[in-house]
Amino acid sequence: MSKPVVLIAEELSPATVDALGPDFEIRQVDGTDRPALLEALADAHAILVRSATKVDAEAIQAAPSLKVIARAGVGLDNVDIKAATTAGVMVVNAPTSNIISAAELTVGHILSLARHIPAAHAALAQGQWKRSKYTGTELYEKTLGIIGLGRIGALITARLQAFGVNVIAYDPYVTSARAQQLGVQLVTLDELLQQSDFITIHMPKTPETTGMISTDQLKLMKSTAYIVNVARGGLIDEDALYEALVSGEIAGAGLDVFVSEPPTDQKLLSLENVIVTPHLGASTDEAQEKAGVSVAKSVRLALGGELVPDAVNVAGGVIDPYVRPGIPLVEKLGQVFAALAASSPLTSVDVEVRGELAGYDVSVLKLAALKGIFTNIVSESVSYVNAPLLAEQRGIEVRQITDEVSEEYRNLITLRGALSDGTQVSVSGTLTGTKQIEKVVEINGYDVEVPIAAHHIVMVYTDRPGIVAVYGQKFGEAGINIAGMQIARREAGGEALSVLTVDSPVTDDILADVARVIDSSLLREIDITEA
């Protein structure tokens, strides 16, 4: 059996390849060579990139076997997440791999601005001894303003507090308790701009944050203040920053990121009071190795059929070990549910989790249910990534219900849905015994206990003597071996539900013949596809 193909499109650390291990066929391609990339993607199951390779809708369409796109870094500007999600392709990155490197570069910019280190070096290298020109300022007892008090902001805080710096911050999503824990005072953005001697910005780039520091904000800053951006180009309006630097409204700036990279406008770079670096925030050996190893581990999980809970286009969270065994069970229940609901379009699905499981984060079970429901009824590949999107596109309302009370079983998971013809469908399952056997324990209100197998037949008919012999004979004549059978009924002579476990698929002709002979109100074959 051939190994899954993992395509490495840019130079990554040797530790990345080591972390992938021997289970994959590793191929290399120059991701910037577009024709070569598209050709290499034809049979790739995963692709690992950094920032130069564009994994857009065209690239994703060229890769019918693709399961995961891994960006060995933080930003995902070069990945079309929407196209990946529609195709059911998981997108993973390494969001924490460079936080120390970015924090240290920020501190480096602040120190360089305070002491004019780059300019002093350049002058001395040219034989100019200008001690008085490059008189700087101490950080001690100055005020640092951090815009965005996330993980990087917290690291910068810890490092600069050692210099005796007073730290204030603006972040609408950080609680006062968290700020107090870090020794930081939360203020408004205007207050931060007015009070700070040094300002550093660490916000994601969104339509709301693009250009958030522009002319009006720069006018609020002290004329002796410096501003640093190692986060994302465009958070600071470059034209407004140039005017503020030239006019002396602020003392200087340190920039690692730009609107266009490399910068097409050289005017900022030519100013003496600007320090620039070529997007070096993640450019350390340690950060590159962390990023590569992190996404390699995610690729292993994704290609091994495991859910990567922190994938950027998968809803969910960290999966508790107690919840994990329920994932394949719920996927199979979803397939049973879809087969039972085949008579009419589905309008809503409730995923009910009862028992001890209800005390855990079971959001992944809703994803598993949707993946199972759509696995055999849509033409496109279904994954944890696009299953919610498939439900949304079909107007299916999806809810999750939890209840720590389960009267008969330690844990019980039920999928309950409404169809457009007004009927309802339900199927329940659980894991039993020390071997955690997957069982169906309820179908449409009938109590059963059937171990889940590859092939089942579900029939509903009027209970009467000899009926079992009738359909048993029909299946026997067709060469269908019945491996197991369970019959449930609410009362003698009423409707009965029979669940057969059979050794092989059954043709539509045989099913139609059996349905006619026993006059069934429901007859469905259920073929379970393993994840």
Per-residue pLDDT of the chain (531 residues; tens, 9 = 90+): 689 999 999 988 889 989 998 989 999 999 999 999 999 999 999 999 988 999 999 999 999 999 999 999 877 889 998 899 888 898 998 878 888 999 999 999 999 999 999 999 999 999 999 998 999 999 999 999 999 998 899 999 999 999 999 999 998 878 888 899 899 999 999 999 999 999 999 988 877 889 999 999 999 999 999 999 999 999 999 999 999 999 999 999 999 999 988 898 888 998 999 999 999 998 888 988 898 898 999 899 888 877 776 688 876 656 778 888 899 999 999 999 999 998 888 999 999 999 999 999 898 899 999 999 988 887 666 777 778 888 887 889 999 999 999 988 999 999 999 998 899 999 999 999 888 999 999 999 999 999 999 999 999 999 999 999 999 999 999 999 999 999 998 887 789 999 999 999 999 899 999 999 999 999 999 999 875
pLDDT at 309: 64
Tokens of 133: 């020109």
What pLDDT was estimated at residue 531? 58
Class of domain 5-94+286-303: alpha beta
CATH superfamily of 315-452: D-3-phosphoglycerate dehydrogenase; domain 3 (3.30.1330.90)
Query: What is the torsion angle, in degrees rounded to the nearest 10, for the CA atoms of residue 56, residue 57, residue 59 and residue 65?
Result: 130
Would you call 456 a catalytic residue per the annotation?
A: no
> Helix, strand, coil proportions of the chain in percent (round to 5)?
35, 25, 45
Catalytic position from the list 261, 272, 404, 477? 261
| Single pTM value for the model | 0.62
- Tokens describing residue 449: 């206990």
Q: Is 232 a catalytic residue?
A: yes
* pLDDT score recorded for residue 1: 63
Tell me whether domains 5-94+286-303 and 453-531 share a fold.
Answer: no
The highest-level CATH class for domain 453-531 is: alpha beta
Q: Are 142 and 191 in contact (CB under 8 A)?
A: no
The yes-or-no answer on residue 392 being catalytic is no
Q: Which of 365, 366, 354, 345 is nearest to 418 (CA)?
A: 345
Whole-number Å distance between alpha carbons of 366 and 401: 10
DSSP label of 400: E
Structure tokens at 31: 């991701």
pLDDT at 385: 77
Q: Which of 71, 109, 202, 232 is catalytic?
A: 232
Mapped onto helix, strand or coil, the DSSP state of residue 363 is helix
Beta-carbon-side half-sphere exposure of residue 305 (alpha carbons within 13 Å):
8
Q: Which CATH number fits domain 99-276: 3.30.1330.20, 2.30.40.10, 3.40.50.2300, 3.40.50.720?
A: 3.40.50.720
Q: Where are the domains of the chain?
A: 5-94+286-303, 99-276, 315-452, 453-531
pLDDT of residue 473: 93
